[in-house]
Amino acid sequence: MSSKSQAGYPNRRAGSCLSNESGHHTWDKWWTCCPPGTTYEDYNHSTRCQLSTTTGEVPEQCANSSSILWWKGSYFCCEPQLVGFANEAGSFGCSTQSDVYNGYSNGTMTNANQRPQTASPTSSATSSTASSESSGSSTNKGAIAGGVVGGVCGVLIIIGIIWFLLRRRRLSSASRDPGKPALPPGSKYGHETAELGESGNIRSELYGSPVVRELPTDIQSRQELPGSATKQSPLEPS
């Protein structure tokens, strides 16, 4: 596995540091070692590795990118095949799983906790750029999908409004028709048919023709008692 040097926490090695590493002895046979391109500095009873371009706090990561970050009151790093531990005095080291188990059983070691590492600044920038591009692509797709859905919803709303207005108009027309007064029997076009003998407005059958009465109208009522004057027919000479 390839590795790179970055600002972070040093490895704990037994015996000494590698020839291209910088560091110092800590306790018993253990050394704290920073990878090439970094320099170590003691900070708050611990050691950290700084690049020439970094100062102050370092990220929660190993200075050697291929190492594993551990925590037991402070950060330290071990090679991937080793396990972090702390002794009775609280000093750190790295050993095999079996050695740590034995030390834990006899009370000379306590387990350290493996911790996830934060990305290095370079990795963070690359990840941020990729995330931004992905986010932009997702945003564009979301905007297109949103526009399509919005357009369809708009059309459906317009259709619904038109349907509602037409239905309301039909219901309004239907509610007005029953309120109209019914034409009386025998009437047509709104005119009543006159009774026989009435002198009201009688509709002619033909346009412009005089009104024709079915029975002649008596000028004088017929007398039924004897001795009364007899009505003369208009056809007889007087």
Residue-by-residue DSSP string for 47-87: EEEE-TT--S---SSBSBTTSEEEESSSEEEE-TTSEEEEE
Question: How much is the pLDDT for 63?
Answer: 92
Please tell me the distance from the alpha carbon of residue 7 to that of residue 64, in angstroms, as a whole number: 9
CB hemisphere CA count around 171 (13 angstroms): 6
Q: Give the pTM.
A: 0.48
Residue 122 confidence (pLDDT): 44
Q: What local confidence, expressed as pLDDT, does residue 224 receive? A: 53
Residue 36 confidence (pLDDT): 94
| pLDDT given for residue 80 in this prediction | 94
pLDDT at position 42: 83
pLDDT digits (tens, 9 = 90+) for 78-88: 999 999 999 88
pLDDT at position 129: 46
Name the nearest CA neighbour of 12 among 122, 119, 87, 108.
87
DSSP letter assigned to residue 177: G
Return averaged pLDDT per consecutive 10 residues of the chain, 238 residues in all.
83 93 92 93 83 82 93 92 90 91 86 74 44 53 79 88 87 67 50 48 50 51 50 49
Pull the structure tokens for residue 131.
Answer: 């995330």
* Distance separating alpha carbons of residues 188 and 181, to the nearest angstrom: 13
Q: How far is CA 69 from CA 101, 126, 157, in A?
A: 19, 22, 59
State whether residue 174 is helix, strand or coil.
helix
For 232, phi then psi, to 5°, come to -90, 140
What pLDDT is recorded for position 138? 54
C-alpha triplet 59, 61, 67: angle, nearest 5°:
160
What is the 3 state secondary structure string of 182-228? CCCCCCECCECCCCCCCCCCCCCCCCCCCCCCCCCCCCCCCCCCCCC
H/E segment holding residue 77: strand 75-78
The pLDDT of residue 127: 42
